[in-house]
C-alpha cells in the first residue's frame, strides 16, 4: 500500500484532501465504497429521438449543433440550437463557462442528458449535461448511478472510486450457502455489482423503488449486521459484573414519605423496572423516557437512593449548567434532610470550591453528585460510583457518555430523555438498551393553549406580550432557527431584540444566544429566573432546562423551520405554573405541505409520545432518528417496517453466532467497520 493510501485510511490512490471529504460521507475503505449505494439512476444506455421527448422525463438525445450564441433576453445566456433527424432541440445555459461555449461549435455531435420542456420557441433543455461524442463511442451498457454525495465530491469521482473498489474488494458471501438458498436471497457480490451498475431495465422503477432482489439482499445484510451487533453488546454486558443493589427501602421509603405528592402510576411502574435492574449482578442500561414535566427527576432520585442504601455513590450529569443546577437544587432539597451528602460540580465553580467538591466525591462523603460535563474531568475520581445517570443524553457526545461510565469499573447506567422515541425504534437504534416510559403527567397541570398565527399579524402578538407582562407574567420569544448560518441566526435574534425593545419600551427585555460566553448567558438567564427580565429573546439555547413557572407565554418565530421534537420541547417551557399558558407559533407564508403537516401535528397534540409517533410516520425512521443521533449507526437502506425481513435477520443472527461465529464476525466487519464503539454508548 502506498504511503498516500495509508494516510487516506485505506482507499488506494486517494489524495488527502479528497479523503477528508469522503470521510464526511463515511467512506474510509473499499468496503465502505461498495456499500455506498446509488440514490437513483440515469438511463444513458439508449437514445431518444427529439420528437419523442416527453416533458419532465429525463432522457438522452444525440444531436448536432446548428448554432450557438449569447443572447441577452431577458438576461445574458448561452443558447445553442441543435437537431437530430426528427427535430430541433434548444439547449439553454443561464450560467456558463467559456469552455462550454467553445464545446458547442456548429457541426459538433453531442450526447445530451436531461429533462426537456416545451418552451415558447420549441423543445428546450435548461442546463443539460452534455458531451461531444468521439467517433468510436459506444453507449454505456449499464444504467448510470447517482450517488449521495457532499460538496466537492462529484458524481464522476465517486463513480470511478466505486468502480475501482468493486474490482479490488472481497465480495465473498458472508451468508452460509444453505441459509442463503433457504431465505431465497441473492448473492452478495452479484447484488452490489447489480446495484452499482444495473443492466438497462424497461422500468427503472423496480430498482429505484428498491423492490429488486439485489436490494432485498442489501437490506437483509444491514439488518443482520444490526442484529449481530445488538447480540454482541448484550452478551458483553451480561458477561460484565455490577454491584447488586438490594432495594432495602431504608432511604427510598423515607423520601417517598417526605414528598408533597404521590407518585403517578407511570412513575411507580418505571420505578419498579429500574429497581429490578439494579438488583441484578449485571450493569443496567436503561433509557427512561418521559415528556417534559412528567417527573423523571424523582424517579432518578429513587434509583440513586437504592445505590446509596447499598453503600454506593450515584452521579447525575446534565448537558447545561442551568439544567444541572435545577437538578441539584431539587435533589439537595429532597435528600439533604435525609442526611445524605449531595455534591455539585460545574466548570463555573471557583478553583477552591471545586477542590472541596472533588474532595467530597473522592472521599465518598458525598453520596450523590450532580453536575455538568465537569463531572467527567480527569481530576474527579469517585470513591465508589455505582450508578451513572445522564439527563437529555442526546445532548452529549458519545465520548462524554462513555466517560461518565468509565468513572467506575462497571456502573449501572440510566439515561433520561424528554424527546421520546418509539420503543421498538429505540431498541433497534441504541445498541443494547432497555426502555422505560413515563406516559402520564402528574395531575393538576394547566394545558397549554397553542395558536398558529401568520407572521403578517405580528403586531397583535406584540400586544399580547405587553398584556402578559402587565399581568405580571413573563414571556419567551424564540428566534427563528437558521440552520445554514449561525451568523445569520445571531443577526436575526439581535434584530428581534431591537424591534421588541422599540415596540415595548416599558418592558425589561433580555437577549440570550449561543455566542454569548457562558457566564454572560448565565447572567441573563438568572435575571429571567429572578423576574428582573420580563421578556427573554432567545435562540434555541433555552430548549433544554430552564424552569420559570411565572413564564406563561411563548412566541416561536418561523415555527415552520423547527422540528416537531424541538417545538414540543420549547412549548414545554411554559405551562409550568398555575397560570393559563399559551404558545404562539408564528409562521411565514407560503407553507410547504410538509411544514403545514408538522404545524398541524403540534397544534393538535400535546402528548410527546403521540407527536413522536406522527413525526416518525411523516419522516420515516432514518430521518427521524438521524436528527437526534448523529454518529449512530443508522439503517441506511433497510426499513424496520419490513417485519418479515427483520424477523429473518434476527433468526439468522442467532444461528450464525451459534454455528458460524467467524462468518458472523466477517459480516459485522463488512458493515460496521469502525463504528462498533458507538454501540457501547
What are the residues binding ligand ADP (CB under 6 A)?
261-264, 267, 290, 292-298, 418, 442
Judged by CB, which is closer to ligand ADP: 117, or 262? Answer: 262
The per-residue b/e assignment along 219-245, b for 16 or more CB within 10 angstroms, e otherwise, is bbbbbbbbbbbbbbbeeebeeeebbeb
d(CA 367, CA 120): 79
DSSP 245: -
Show the DSSP H helices in 240-387 as ranges.
252-258, 265-278, 296-309, 321-335, 351-363
Judged by CB, which is closer to ligand ADP: 128, or 271? Answer: 271
Judged by CB, which is closer to ligand ADP: 156, or 260? Answer: 260
DSSP 409: S
Closest distance between ligand ADP and the C-beta of residue 587, in Å? 27
The per-residue b/e assignment along 104-116, b for 16 or more CB within 10 angstroms, e otherwise, is beeebebbbbbeb
Collect all residues with Cβ–Cβ distance below 8 Å to 580 and sequence separation of at least 6. 446, 449, 552
Q: Which three cell numbers stand for residue 84?
A: 437530430
Closest distance between ligand ADP and the C-beta of residue 547, in Å? 7
Judged by CB, which is closer to ligand ADP: 162, or 300? Answer: 300
The enclosing H or E element of 114 equals strand 109-115
d(CA 480, CA 539): 7
Closest distance between ligand ADP and the C-beta of residue 626, in Å? 24
What's the length of the chain? 681
Judged by CB, which is closer to ligand ADP: 246, or 262? Answer: 262
Closest distance between ligand ADP and the C-beta of residue 644, in Å? 37
Closest distance between ligand ADP and the C-beta of residue 608, in Å? 10
Judged by CB, which is closer to ligand ADP: 417, or 652? Answer: 417
Closest distance between ligand ADP and the C-beta of residue 342, in Å? 16
Judged by CB, which is closer to ligand ADP: 131, or 262? Answer: 262
Judged by CB, which is closer to ligand ADP: 12, or 293? Answer: 293
DSSP 612: H
DSSP 155-174: HHHHHHHHHHHHHHS-----
Closest distance between ligand ADP and the C-beta of residue 403, in Å? 23
Judged by CB, which is closer to ligand ADP: 127, or 262? Answer: 262
SS3 state at 646: helix
Show the DSSP H helices in 443-485 as ranges.
458-470
β-strand pairing of 77-84 with 58-71: antiparallel
Closest distance between ligand ADP and the C-beta of residue 271, in Å? 11
Q: Give me the residue whose beta carbon is nearest to ligand ADP.
A: 295
Judged by CB, which is closer to ligand ADP: 60, or 297? Answer: 297
Closest distance between ligand ADP and the C-beta of residue 434, in Å? 18
d(CA 69, CA 78): 6
The enclosing H or E element of 63 equals strand 58-71
d(CA 390, CA 305): 16
Show the DSSP H helices in 336-382 as ranges.
351-363
Return the sign of the alpha-carbon dihedral for residues 275, 279, 280, 283: positive
Judged by CB, which is closer to ligand ADP: 251, or 656? Answer: 251
Do 497 and 511 touch, CB atoms closer than 8 A? yes
Closest distance between ligand ADP and the C-beta of residue 390, in Å? 13
Helices and strands, counts by H and E, the chain: 25, 22
Closest distance between ligand ADP and the C-beta of residue 298, in Å? 5
Amino acid at each position: 500500500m502506498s504511503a498516500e493510501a495509508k494516510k487516506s485510511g485505506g482507499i488506494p490512490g486517494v489524495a488527502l484532501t479528497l479523503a477528508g471529504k469522503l470521510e464526511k460521507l463515511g467512506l474510509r475503505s473499499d468496503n465502505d465504497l461498495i456499500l455506498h449505494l446509488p440514490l437513483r439512476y440515469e438511463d444513458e444506455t439508449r437514445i431518444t429521438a427529439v420528437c419523442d421527448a416527453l416533458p419532465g422525463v429525463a432522457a438522452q438525445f444525440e444531436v448536432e449543433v446548428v448554432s450557438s450564441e449569447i443572447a441577452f433576453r431577458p438576461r445574458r445566456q448561452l443558447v445553442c440550437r441543435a437537431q437530430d433527424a426528427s427535430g430541433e432541440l434548444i439547449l439553454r445555459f443561464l450560467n456558463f463557462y467559456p469552455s462550454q461555449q467553445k464545446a458547442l461549435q456548429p457541426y459538433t455531435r453531442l450526447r445530451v442528458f436531461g429533462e426537456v420542456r416545451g418552451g415558447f420557441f420549441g423543445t428546450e433543455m435548461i442546463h443539460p449535461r452534455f458531451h461531444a461524442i468521439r467517433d468510436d463511442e459506444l453507449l454505456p451498457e449499464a444504467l448510470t448511478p447517482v450517488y449521495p454525495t457532499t460538496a466537492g465530491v462529484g458524481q464522476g469521482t465517486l463513480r470511478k472510486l466505486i468502480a475501482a473498489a468493486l474490482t479490488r474488494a472481497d465480495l465473498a458471501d458472508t451468508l452460509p450457502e444453505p441459509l442463503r438458498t433457504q431465505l431465497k436471497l441473492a448473492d452478495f457480490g452479484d447484488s452490489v455489482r447489480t446495484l452499482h451498475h444495473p443492466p438497462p431495465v424497461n422500468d427503472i422503477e423496480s430498482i429505484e423503488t428498491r423492490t429488486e432482489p439485489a436490494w432485498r439482499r442489501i437490506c437483509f445484510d444491514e439488518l443482520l449486521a444490526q442484529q449481530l451487533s445488538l447480540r454482541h453488546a448484550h452478551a458483553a454486558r451480561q458477561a460484565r459484573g455490577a454491584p447488586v443493589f438490594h432495594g432495602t427501602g431504608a432511604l427510598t421509603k423515607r423520601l417517598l414519605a417526605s414528598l408533597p405528592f404521590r407518585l403517578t402510576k407511570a412513575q411507580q411502574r418505571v420505578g419498579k423496572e429500574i429497581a429490578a435492574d439494579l438488583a441484578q449482578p449485571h450493569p443496567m442500561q436503561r433509557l427512561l423516557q418521559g415528556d417534559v414535566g412528567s417527573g423523571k427527576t424523582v424517579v432518578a432520585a429513587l434509583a440513586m437512593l437504592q445505590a446509596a442504601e447499598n453503600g454506593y455513590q450515584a452521579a447525575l450529569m446534565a448537558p447545561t449548567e442551568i439544567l444541572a443546577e435545577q437538578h441539584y437544587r431539587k435533589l439537595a432539597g429532597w435528600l439533604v434532610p435525609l442526611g445524605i451528602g449531595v455534591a455539585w460540580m460545574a466548570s463555573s465553580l471557583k478553583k477552591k470550591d471545586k477542590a472541596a467538591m472533588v474532595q467530597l466525591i473522592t472521599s465518598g462523603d458525598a453520596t450523590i453528585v450532580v453536575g455538568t460535563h465537569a463531572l467527567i474531568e480527569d481530576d474527579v475520581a469517585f470513591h465508589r460510583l455505582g450508578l451513572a445517570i445522564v439527563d437529555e443524553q442526546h445532548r452529549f457526545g458519545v465520548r462524554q457518555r462513555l466517560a461518565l461510565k468509565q468513572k467506575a469499573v462497571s456502573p449501572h447506567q440510566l439515561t433520561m430523555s424528554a424527546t421520546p422515541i418509539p420503543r421498538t425504534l429505540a431498541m433497534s437504534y441504541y445498541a443494547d438498551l432497555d426502555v422505560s416510559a413515563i406516559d402520564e403527567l402528574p395531575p393538576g397541570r394547566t394545558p397549554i393553549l397553542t395558536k398558529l398565527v401568520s407572521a403578517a399579524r405580528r403586531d397583535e402578538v406584540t400586544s399580547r406580550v405587553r398584556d402578559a407582562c402587565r399581568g405580571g407574567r413573563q414571556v419567551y420569544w424564540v428566534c427563528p432557527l437558521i440552520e445554514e448560518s449561525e451568523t445569520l441566526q445571531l443577526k436575526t435574534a439581535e434584530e428581534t431584540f431591537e424591534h421588541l425593545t422599540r415596540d415595548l419600551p416599558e418592558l425589561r427585555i433580555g437577549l440570550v444566544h449561543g455566542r454569548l460566553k457562558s457566564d454572560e448567558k448565565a447572567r441573563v438567564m438568572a435575571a429571567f429566573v429572578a423576574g428582573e427580565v420580563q421578556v427573554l429573546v432567545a435562540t434555541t439555547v433555552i430548549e433544554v432546562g430552564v424552569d420559570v413557572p411565572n413564564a406563561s407565554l411563548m412566541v416561536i418565530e418561523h415555527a415552520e423551520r423547527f422540528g416537531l421534537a424541538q417545538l414540543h420541547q420549547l412549548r414545554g417551557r411554559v405551562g409550568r405554573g398555575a397560570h393559563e399558558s399559551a404558545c404562539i407559533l408564528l409562521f411565514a407564508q407560503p407553507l410547504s405541505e410538509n411544514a403545514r403537516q408538522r404545524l398541524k401535528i403540534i397544534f393538535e397534540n400535546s402528548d410527546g409520545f403521540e407527536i413522536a409517533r406522527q413525526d416518525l410516520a411523516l419522516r420515516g425512521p432514518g430521518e427521524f432518528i438521524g436528527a437526534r443521533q448523529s454518529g449512530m449507526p443508522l439503517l441506511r437502506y433497510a426499513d424496520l417496517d419490513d417485519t418479515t425481513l427483520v424477523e429473518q435477520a434476527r433468526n439468522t443472527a442467532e444461528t450464525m453466532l451459534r454455528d458460524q461465529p467467524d462468518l458472523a464476525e466477517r459480516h459485522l466487519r463488512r458493515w460496521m467497520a469502525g463504528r462498533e464503539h458507538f454501540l457501547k454508548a
